[in-house]
Amino acid sequence: MKVDLVARNLEVSDELRDYITKKLSRIEKHFDKGIPAQVVLSKERGRQTVEITLPLDGMVVRSEEATLDIYASINLAVDKIERQIEKYRARFQRRKREGRAQVRSVVPEGALSPPTAGLPGAEDEPRLVKVKRFDIKPMNVEEAIMQMNLLGHDFFVFTSSETEQVNVLYRRKDGNYGLIESE
């Protein structure tokens, strides 16, 4: 398994790096070929956080755990990822067989910059601080719900495989889901 390790505000020893690789090898047994993993370790206010992200054939599985001990955080994050994979294993296998076509979303540079940038008094206005780019895959609503839950997000943007339109799925306050369809 190829592990891309990023550390923020803490030193990563060889022992810790080996521990992470060993723990992540438990996940690799669920797949035929090696999969890449991105692991972000950070330390803030005494809490040690571990974020693990696995791109799997057009899907993304993510877990994040924070405890006072980095090893406990790693164990909890890997356990969480493994539970997610086991829960959705049949769907992962089906998607792998189907081999979905990839659609790339391209946002021109500067297209999202605020119109007030550079104007006097603009410092007090809310501003765009992060831009994320990601592939928008054609999928049905059930797959979008699964992906949103795997990521742990409250909303998810996807292209409907039925209508080929961009849709937004979101979690409502009552725990159900809402869908915004474009026309």
Q: What is the pTM of this model?
A: 0.56
Q: How confident is the model at residue 151 (pLDDT cuts 50, 70, 90)?
A: confident
Domain identity same for 108 and 173: yes
Per the domain annotation, does 97 fall within a domain?
A: no
Q: Which domain holds residue 133?
A: 103-181
CATH code assigned at 66: 3.30.160.100
Model confidence pLDDT, tens digit, residues 5-58: 888 888 888 999 999 989 988 888 777 677 888 999 999 888 999 999 988 766
CATH of the domain at 160: 3.30.505.50
Residue pLDDT, tens place only, 82-111: 888 887 777 766 666 665 433 333 444 444
Q: Give CA–CA dist 68/47, Å, rounded.
A: 5
Instruction: Tell me the pLDDT tens digit for each residue of 42-55.
Output: 998 889 999 999 88
Domains contained in the chain, number: 2
Within a domain: 55? yes
Please tell me the distance from the alpha carbon of residue 109 to that of residue 111, in angstroms, as a whole number: 6
- The 10 Å Cβ neighbour count of residue 29 is 7
